[in-house]
Structure 1
Amino acid sequence: MMSNLFSIFDPTNQLFNLSLNWISTFLGLMFIPYSFWLIPNRHHMIWNFMLNKLHNEFKTLLGINSFSGSTFIFISLFSFILFNNFLGLFPYIFTSTSHLTLSLSISLPLWLSFMLYGWINNSNHMFSHMIPQGTPNILMPFMVMIESISNIIRPGTLAVRLTANMIAGHLLMTLLSNTGSSFPTYLIFILIIIQIMLLILESAVAVIQSYVIAILSTLYSSEVN
């Protein structure tokens, strides 16, 4: 019996006072070497096709003033979050992206590096983002406050968006699975179908959230150039 519903997200396996569940964050690295040793197959071609599409899209969003190779930062971010989201759908694998510890440690350094680079190298450009074009003079102080607050909370919204979406689906699947023991036989089959549909939905959420985080990070980066 679970003492706490959120205990399914807690790292409980320990060895020498070290949490072993966080090792699941690095399990995505196991999928990388096969592309260098096996003959390219359909999965490899689909993955390369998807990365090429992302590269072209990120390059368009970053604009002509971006540094060459900067798209690989966001492609790596997309791949890392996607692997962790998908691995969390497997039984007995710890979902690291459902914790603010991981999601905030990704979004905060990215946002901070963008802000430092922008304010140091493009101060006038950053000030121009504070006041939208055509704003009346009387509203300018309020617009500066609103834009500053919206800029400050960006890393928090990125982290909470990823964490909340991963927690919501896992909690719903856990709640439904815990009630299965008290159901009659004919309802068990309905519950299994619902669980499969939820698993498909969570797979889509895993891809969408990885894409959203990468796209928003790219947009935040394009604003400082």
Structure 2
Amino acid sequence: MMTNLFSVFDPSTTIFNLSINWLSTFIGFMLIPYSYWLMPSRHQIIWNKIMLTLHNEFKILLKSSSSKGMTLLLITLFALILLNNLLGLFPYIFTSTSHLTLTLTLSLPMWLSFMIFGWLNQTQHMFTHLVPQGTPTVLIPFMVCIETISNIIRPGTLAIRLTANMIAGHLLMTLMGNTGPTMPTILISILIISQILLIVLETAVAMIQAYVFTILTTLYSSEVY
């Protein structure tokens, strides 16, 4: 029996006291069709177009010739988050991106590496970001404090944004699904249509949130170069 509404998001499936819910993070690689590896295939053509579009967009945002391999890392991050978001829409599959354990693991090391690289190699450039152009002299100490705090909370906001958006839709679908057995027969069809529309909405949210997470990471990294 579910004692807590949020317990549906807990990794509780175990075998020999080993949690197996996190295997959903890697199960997507088993779902890649064999036709993807055939040259050429429709899956590969579609994915290559997506990667090329993302590469061109990230290249514009980075604005630096010294970050050539950075776009590949960001595309990989986008693919990982998108895959886990979409897998969470299937029944009985644990949504790993609804936990801060995963989202913080993605955002914190990347932000920390950007900060270490920036302060070691572009120290003067990093100091200029603490004081926006045109700031009055009296407000400079306050702006430095505000910019420092906003910089420190960046990995937390990235992780919480993705987690909250993944939990919200799943929680709403869970609430509506639990009311099904107690509803009159006439309203069941309305409930089913609502659930279908919610699944479509959640599919769009899964794609958008993967894109937003990657774009914000790109913008944060572009400040370092």
The TM-score, its normalising length taken from structure 2, stands at 0.96
SS class of match (2:67): coil
> Considering only aligned residues, what root-mean-square deviation do their CA atoms show, in Å?
1.3
Partner of 1:121: 121
Aligned to 1:77: 77
Where 2:53 maps in the other structure, the secondary structure is: helix
* Alignment partners' CA distance in 2, 1:55 and 1:31: 24
State how far apart, in whole Å, the 1-side matches of 2:32 and 2:68 are. Answer: 24
- The answer for the alignment partner of 1:50 in structure 2 is 50
| SS across alignment from 1:134 | coil
Q: SS where residue 94 of structure 2 aligns?
A: coil
The residue aligned with 2:177 is 177
* Matched residue, 2:217: 217
- 1:60 maps to what in 2? 60
Q: 2 CA distance for matches of 1:35 and 1:125?
A: 47
**2:100 aligned with 1:100:** yes
Alpha-carbon separation, structure 2, partners of 1:124 and 1:39: 48
C-alpha distance in 1 between matches for 2:63 and 2:86: 31
Q: Which amino acid aligns with 2:88?
A: G
Matching residue of 1:157: 157
Unmatched 5+ residue regions in structure 1?
A: none
Asked if structure 1 preserves the Cα contact closer than 8 Å seen for 2:24 and 2:95, the reply is yes
3-state SS in 2 of match to 1:193? helix
Q: 2:132 aligns to what SS in structure 1?
A: coil
Please say if 1:110 is aligned against 2:110: yes
1:137 maps to a residue whose letter is T
TM-score (norm 1): 0.96
Query: Over residues 162-212 of structure 1, what are the superposed CA-to-partner deviations in whole Å (9 max), with x where a residue is unaligned?
Result: 000000000000000000001111200000000000000000000000000
Q: 1:117/1:223 Cα in 2 relative to 1: closer, same or farther (>3 Å)? A: same
In the superposition, relative to structure 1, how do residues 137 and 99 fare at CA in structure 2: closer, same or farther (>3 Å)?
A: same
Structure 2's unaligned 5+ residue stretches are: none
Q: Matches of 2:197 and 2:33 in 1, distance apart?
A: 32
Deviation at 1:67, TM superposition (A): 2.1
**How far 1:32 sits from its partner (Å)?**
4.3
Distance in 1, Cα, partners of 2:65 & 2:139:
31
1:67 counterpart SS class: coil
Cα shift readout 1:51-107 (whole Å, capped 9, x = no counterpart): 110010001111134322210100000000000000000000000000000000100
For 1:8 and 1:121, the matched residues in 2 are separated by 45
3-state secondary structure, aligned to 1:213: helix
Give the stretch that moved more between structures: 6-15 or 91-100.
Answer: 6-15
Give the whole-Å Cα distance in 2 for the aligned partners of 1:140 and 1:194.
Answer: 52
Shift of 1:33: 6.5
Q: Does the residue aligned with 1:169 lie in a helix, a strand or coil?
A: helix
Q: Is the 8 A contact 1:28 1:80 kept in 2?
A: no
Matches of 2:85 and 2:40 in 1, distance apart?
25
Contact 2:35 2:43 in 1 (8 A): no
Q: CA deviation at 1:36?
A: 5.0
Say whether the 8 Å CA contact 1:130–1:144 is kept in structure 2: yes
Secondary structure of the residue aligned to 2:11 is: coil
CA distance in 2, matches of 1:10, 1:66: 42
Q: Partner letter of residue 180 of structure 2?
A: G
What displacement does 1:19 show? 0.3
CA distance in 1, matches of 2:65, 2:220: 14
Q: Give per-residue Cα distances to partners, 1:134-173, cap 9 Å, x unaligned.
A: 1000000000000000000000000000000000000000
